[in-house]
Amino acid sequence: MRTEHAPTIQRADYQPLPWTVETVDLHFRLDAEATLVTNRMRCVRNPGASEGPIRLWGEALERVSLTVDGVVPASMQEVDGVLEIDAAGDTVTVEVVTRINPRANTTLSGLYLSNGGFFTQCEAEGFRRITCFPDRPDVMARYTVTLEADREACPVLLSNGNLVAEGLLPEGRHYAKWEDPFPKPSYLFALVAGKLVALERRVTTMSGREVLLQ
């Protein structure tokens, strides 16, 4: 059980970040002990903030690789647990690949394993335990999420938004792709994968489009 207390953050000290995120494309290759997360972010300069680097929080994860517009950044440093990356221009694509161990995560924050299934808890600061990200509630982005897992162990793959694609993969695996059209903070991100009972129903929206409600 965690006994340490998080530092108090005063509203007066809360400054806008130099860079924010417009879109997030996440790919999870789910594994009980070595889940690989590929996070592709479209980052833009914040016109309401002073100049500064891209700032990404990360905790209890292994950073496998990081590129900016496909290139390893020449200037990158970690300050008080925050990764700072100098970037040119007003819009860049940052791709971070991380590896995490859901089975070893007993904090119930981030991505963890329970009864053979994968679950997330990202409120208030659990998303930084999944990938490197500006993990603050004022960073609102649209998410696309692809979940890949063993078909037998995880027949149900769920995340935020609308299911837009699914299919079979080699070696007994399968995938599901979810798109959330509405910007949201990282603490609202969620995924569930495992042997679950899924209640499904096809409904027709006001625009006449048929969608699957799960």
Tell me the per-residue pLDDT of 116-143, one tens digit each, with 9 for 90 and over: 999 999 999 999 999 999 999 999 999 9
Indicate the pTM of the whole model.
Answer: 0.91
SS3 100: strand
Written as one string, the DSSP assignment of 34-81 is: -EEEEEEEEEEE-TTS-S--EEEE--S-EEEEEEETTB--SSEEEETT
pLDDT in tens, 6-19: 667 777 778 999 99
pLDDT in tens, 39-84: 999 999 999 899 999 999 999 999 999 999 999 999 899 988 899 9
pLDDT in tens, 154-180: 999 999 999 999 999 999 999 999 999
Number of neighbouring beta carbons within 10 Å of residue 55: 18
List the domains of the chain with CATH numbers. 14-213 (2.60.40.1730)
Torsion of CA 199, 211, 140, 133, to 10 degrees: 60
Please, which residues have CB within 8 angstroms of residue 159's CB and are 6 or more apart in sequence? 143, 145, 147, 176, 178, 180, 189, 190, 191, 192
At residue 93, the pLDDT reads: 99
112 has which bridge partners? Answer: 119
Number of neighbouring beta carbons within 10 Å of residue 1: 4
- DSSP conformation class of 131: S
